[in-house]
Structure 1
Amino acid sequence: MRNPDSPLAAPVSPDAPAACRGQGPLVGGAPLDPVEQGEPSAIRLVLSDDLIVESQDETHVTVANTATAARMKLSIAAYRFLKAFVKPRRLDEVVPPGAVAGARAQIAKLLEKGMLLDADAPRAGRALRLRTAVPYRFCSAPAYNAASAADDFVVLGVPYDLAGADDCRGAPSAIRQKSLDYLYRIRIEDGRSKGWFDANRKTWILRGATLADAGDVYVEYGEDQADLFGRIASALEAFGEGTVPVVLGGDSSVTYAVAAALRRRGSLTVVQLSARPVASPSSASEVIGTDEVAARLLQLDGIERFVSVGGPEAPPASPADRAVLYDVPTLRQAGLETLARDWDGTSAVHLSIDLGLTKPEYMRTDEHGSSAGLSLPELRSVISALGRMHRIVGIDLVGLDMRSRYAHLSAAAACDLALTAMEASRQRSEAAR
């Protein structure tokens, strides 16, 4: 990948650093070999387009290749030497002939790390880096292995929050860390899950269900949103249609990316539990904002309807045709299972849970025992009702604002709701067997 117009161009002059003249350290403080006579290299070298400066101080510069995550710590002199290849140049155009042989080993390191490229070699397509490893796995479940048997549920994090105002990129890690309170244990006899005992309902859930954690989708902050959403779609496609993805966002634009990908499996109804109904119309922006997810999704083939549940007040209007918004007073008056009966069961459901509804201002009860939003037991009831009436093929949890003083409580609620949603997804599939 050439970078002919990079602003880092710096000609090498007689007073250039020692590394550029074949003396002193070049890479990582390693000295060059003694001056040797040799034929100058005929290869033209150029900086990779994926090269960035990650950090720098008075003595060193750390550069990174964003496509491969490779990093190198260079001395200031070595960094100046590297910049000499901002445009395609042969090594003998940068260092004196007597220093070429000694510099070749150092150049080899830069080529190996992808910091420099052969300017005249055919360019292979950029490798698609889909996922990154994470320090904690959801409920300590096994890491996802594409070569193994299909899992019932696969957890995938998307630490992205550039489509809204909330700070949500740390949410996948926070939820995973809290989920370690719910350890995933496997039965010796068949290698399947022992499940968990739900003390609220006094019953076992997710017995025999297999769960894996696929880490996070790779996010390159500042890239086009469409590129990230494409990686999300590729990751979900790799899991296979028999697996229910459990996606940890990220802001609620992540719901768009997930539902847009899952609709390719068949027609889809998106149900979002949220205290802030997404009622804004679609914009012409290339970036899909968190407030226009419903309107944007309903423009896609395969999305039959969008249902929003949990607003404290009746919304002024629906964002588009085929959008249904249930406020809390109406839902309580009609019964919490009403929404599960309001359409037939022909289309699958993607369930999105906006964790903003777990904030204390929505869940705190007054002297009469009522809350402005849905309580945790009510949320469980709605999710279970969906599972009894509809086939849940995807789950996401989004909108956990890490700047909130109650973020840790929302992370705990997220774990509870994720397990409840997974159990609800199994209800319909188990009944069909």
Structure 2
Amino acid sequence: MTEDLDNGFPSSPFSAPKGTLPFTGIATFAGYPFWKKEQRSDAVIMGVPYDEGTTYRSGTRLGPRSIRNASMFYAYEGAKDRFFDADRNQWILSGKTIADAGDVNIEPLSRERNWRLVTRYGETILDAHAIPAVLGGDHSITYPVVKAFEKKRIHYVHLDTHADCDRIFESDYTHGSPVARIFEENLARSLTLIGIRGLTNSGRDLAWIQKQGARVITACQLHRHLRDHQALSFEEGSYYISLDIDFFDPSAAPGTGTPEPGGLFFPDFSDLVHNIAEKGKIVGFDVVEVNPLLEGHHAITSHLAARCVLELLSAALD
């Protein structure tokens, strides 16, 4: 079967036969091959099955596996390592080399050891000139991942219901504290928090982080920007994006530990990350706080997370 070189579609009115089924084989992310460090890759998937930073409902340690399982649906629909995006009427990730490095070997009750490994895994991927695409895990894992970027002076974008500047009792290292740790250790050139909403944020924390120079955009403000077709402004530079799945409305992402009404939806997220990519370069990202124990058999949250990973990869690489 020949292909039309103008648009990449087969000359036949029928699609080529699907060669795989989503429930067969080993569930790497979207069916991408295992990573071999000696082979060049544009992006590398890395799982961090850790949830000892959780302060409410645990289970996000199962997130990486659940996201991978859900992502196999896209292996079924993909063609020649690319995907056709009907919304944008174009192929995405065509010719991009993406691989899956598996999971960090987490050891229970060994936070310092685990986080050293997370940072080292991230550094290994960066040393191979690839983009780390991280599957969590709770939001505490973002801090050791971002430490791998210390020399790059990234702009950090935090997509979340919560500001994550908490100190829980005497602990500085929970899923509610990565923004505070990133700020205090000066790991980013700038901090932008988007999607903040609800009744579970501290007014003092929000006032403090803004006083330090962080930009805070609430969910209501983002809704208004999107409604009025006004793009948010971002400066040039390297960007790391951390997506807490509770950024989305609970109707779209019920499988998370701290849901809050009034969230965003996938088209909003897509517009936002491509808005960032128009000015900056996305050099890494994570998707965290997916808890398959809370989403039921339909796995809607894991499917959304898998789709978000593909969208972030496209924004970073296309």
Alignment TM class, shorter chain as reference:
0.7 to 0.9
- Bigger CA radius of gyration: 1
Considering only aligned residues, what root-mean-square deviation do their CA atoms show, in Å? 2.7
* Of 294, 302, 315, the match for 1:424: 315
Residue 251 of structure 1 corresponds to 138
Tell me the distance in 1 between the aligned counterparts of 2:287 and 2:119.
Answer: 17
Other structure's SS at 1:183 match: helix
Question: Which string of whole-angstrom CA distances, capped at 9 and with x for unpartnered residues, describes residues 166-225 of structure 1?
Answer: 3201110000011111118999xxxxx5410112322211111111000100000011x1
Tell me the distance in 1 between the aligned counterparts of 2:251 and 2:76.
Answer: 32
Q: 1:193-204 residue pairs with structure 2 within 5 A?
A: 194-204=81-91
8 A contact 2:84–2:90 mirrored in 1: yes
Residue 307 of structure 1 corresponds to 192
Residue 298 of structure 1 corresponds to 183
- The alignment's TM-score, normalised by the length of structure 1, stands at 0.59
* Of 35, 41, 59, the match for 1:167: 59
8 A contact 1:358–1:413 mirrored in 2: no
Question: Which string of whole-angstrom CA distances, capped at 9 and with x for unpartnered residues, describes residues 306-327 of structure 1?
Answer: 2221123596324531322211
8 A contact 2:35–2:100 mirrored in 1: yes
Are residue 326 (structure 1) and residue 213 (structure 2) matched?
no
Residue 240 of structure 1 corresponds to 126
Residue 379 of structure 1 corresponds to 269
Tell me the distance in 2 between the aligned counterparts of 1:325 and 1:282.
Answer: 22
8 A contact 1:272–1:308 mirrored in 2: yes
Tell me the distance in 2 between the aligned counterparts of 1:354 and 1:144.
Answer: 25
Aligned-pair identity in percent equals 24
Residue 227 of structure 1 corresponds to 113
Tell me the distance in 1 between the aligned counterparts of 2:100 and 2:108.
Answer: 23
Residue 70 of structure 2 corresponds to 178
Are residue 207 (structure 1) and residue 94 (structure 2) matched?
yes
Q: Number of aligned pairs? A: 277
Say which structure, 1 or 2, has more relative contact order (CA 8 Å, 6+ apart): 2
Distance 1:184-1:405 versus aligned 2 partners, 3 A rule: closer
Question: Which string of whole-angstrom CA distances, capped at 9 and with x for unpartnered residues, describes residues 32-73 of structure 1?
Answer: xxxxxxxxxxxxxxxxxxxxxxxxxxxxxxxxxxxxxxxxxx
Other structure's SS at 2:161 match: coil
Other structure's SS at 1:236 match: helix
Residue 283 of structure 2 corresponds to 393
For structure 2, the residue ranges without an aligned partner over 5 or more in a row are 1-24, 255-260
Other structure's SS at 1:209 match: coil
Partner AA of 1:259 in structure 2: V
For structure 1, the residue ranges without an aligned partner over 5 or more in a row are 1-133, 188-192, 365-370, 428-433
Moved more, 405-414 or 153-162: 405-414
Other structure's SS at 2:73 match: coil
Q: State the 1:292 CA deviation.
A: 1.3
Q: 1:405-416 residue pairs with structure 2 within 5 A?
A: 405-406=295-296, 408-416=299-307
8 A contact 1:271–1:306 mirrored in 2: yes
Partner AA of 1:382 in structure 2: L
Residue 158 of structure 1 corresponds to 48
8 A contact 2:249–2:263 mirrored in 1: no
Other structure's SS at 1:170 match: helix
- The alignment's TM-score, normalised by the length of structure 2, stands at 0.79
8 A contact 1:294–1:323 mirrored in 2: no
